[in-house]
C-alpha cells in the first residue's frame, strides 16, 4: 500500500480538547481539537473553545504549537475557533485551511498574524494523505478531514452539522477504494431520538465503518448507543486520547 512505511504503534491522532477527558492531567472543556500526524506532517484540526485550555493540554500531551504545518478549522463556531489566536501567535505565517464561507472579518484578523488562508470549497488533498471533504451544507458550512492511513480512512468531524451519515457518505465518494477505519469527533446527535441514532449506526455498519468514536457534541445517549452497537469497536474518545494505527485495524 502507498503508506506501508507507517509504524503501527506510532500515534496518528491525539485529542487535545474535548467535552470528555481520558486523563486526569488534561482539562475537559466544551469544544473539540485534535492533532494529526501523518506522512511526516503535523496538523491541528480545530482549536477548542479556549486558548488557555488548548495550550495547557498541548503542553501536557507534549505538543509544541510551533511544530504545526497546518491548521484546519471545521466551521466557524466558538467551540472550534476559541484557541486560534494562541496558535497563530505561537506559529506565525501558519497555513490555515477554512471553509470559504468564513467571515471576512475572521479571515483578515487571522492574516494579522501572518496566517496564509487556504479557502476550501470542494473536496481536495491538501497535504499528502490529508483531505478536506470540501465545504458541506449544514446549519452553517462545515468541512471534515479525511486522513488516509494504511489501516484505512480516518474521518474527523468538528460538530457534523451537515449530518454525520452524509459526511461518511462523502468520505466514501472521495476515497471509494479505501475502507473507513474510524469516524471520530462531534456527531451532533443531542436532539435526535434513539431510533434515529440507531438508524444512523445501521448506516455506519452498511458503509463498513470499522471503529466509531463519538465525542464532543454527540450526546451521552449517542455515545451509549454507539458503544452498545459497536462493542469493543467503540472508542470512548476524550482529551488525552491517543490513537495509533494498531488501535483501528
Q: Determine the interface stretch with Fe ion among 3-11, 75-83, 147-155, 174-182 (rule: CB under 5 A).
A: 75-83
- For position 79 contacting Fe ion by CB under 5 A, the verdict is yes
Footprint of Fe ion on 171-230 (CB under 5 A): 217
- For position 70 contacting Fe ion by CB under 5 A, the verdict is no
CB of 215 to Fe ion, least distance (A): 10
Integer Cα distance of 178 and 69 in angstroms: 25
Q: What's the CA angle centered on 94, arms 28 and 101, to 5 degrees? A: 80
Contact predicate 138/101, CB 8 Å: no
Footprint of Fe ion on 82-121 (CB under 5 A): none
CB of 7 to Fe ion, least distance (A): 32
Reported as half-sphere exposure (CB side, CA atoms, 13 A), residue 194 has a value of 6
Among 182, 159, 185, residue whose Cα is nearest residue 239 = 185
Residue window 138-167: x/- pattern of binding to Fe ion, with contact defined by CB under 5 A = ---------------------x--------
Reported as half-sphere exposure (CB side, CA atoms, 13 A), residue 42 has a value of 12
Among 14, 77, 210, 223, binds Fe ion (CB under 5 A): 77
Which residues lie near Fe ion (CB under 5 A)? 77, 79, 159, 217
Amino acid at each position: 500500500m502507498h503508506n506501508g512505511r507507517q509504524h503501527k504503534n506510532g500515534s496518528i491522532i491525539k485529542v487535545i480538547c474535548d467535552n470528555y477527558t481520558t486523563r486526569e492531567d488534561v482539562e475537559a472543556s466544551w469544544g473539540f481539537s485534535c492533532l494529526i500526524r501523518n506522512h511526516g506532517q503535523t496538523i491541528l484540526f480545530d482549536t477548542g473553545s479556549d486558548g488557555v485550555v488548548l495550550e495547557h493540554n498541548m503542553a501536557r500531551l507534549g505538543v509544541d504549537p510551533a511544530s504545526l504545518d497546518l491548521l484546519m478549522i471545521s466551521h466557524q463556531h466558538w467551540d472550534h475557533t476559541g484557541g486560534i489566536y494562541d496558535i497563530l501567535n505561537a506559529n506565525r505565517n501558519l497555513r490555515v485551511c477554512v471553509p470559504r464561507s468564513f467571515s471576512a472579518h475572521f479571515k483578515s484578523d487571522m492574516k494579522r498574524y501572518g496566517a496564509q488562508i487556504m479557502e476550501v470549497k470542494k473536496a481536495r488533498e491538501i497535504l499528502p494523505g490529508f483531505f478536506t471533504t470540501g465545504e458541506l451544507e449544514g446549519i452553517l458550512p462545515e468541512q471534515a478531514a479525511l486522513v488516509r492511513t494504511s489501516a484505512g480512512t480516518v474521518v474527523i468531524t468538528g460538530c457534523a452539522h451537515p449530518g454525520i451519515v452524509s459526511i461518511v457518505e462523502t468520505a466514501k465518494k472521495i476515497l471509494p477504494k479505501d475502507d473507513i477505519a474510524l469516524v471520530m469527533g462531534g456527531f451532533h446527535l443531542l436532539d435526535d431520538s434513539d431510533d434515529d441514532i440507531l438508524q444512523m449506526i445501521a448506516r455506519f455498519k452498511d458503509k463498513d465503518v470499522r471503529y466509531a468514536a463519538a465525542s464532543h457534541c454527540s450526546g451521552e445517549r449517542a455515545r451509549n448507543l454507539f458503544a452498545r452497537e459497536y462493542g469493543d469497536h467503540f472508542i470512548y474518545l476524550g482529551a488525552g486520547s491517543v490513537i495509533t494505527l494498531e488501535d483501528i485495524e
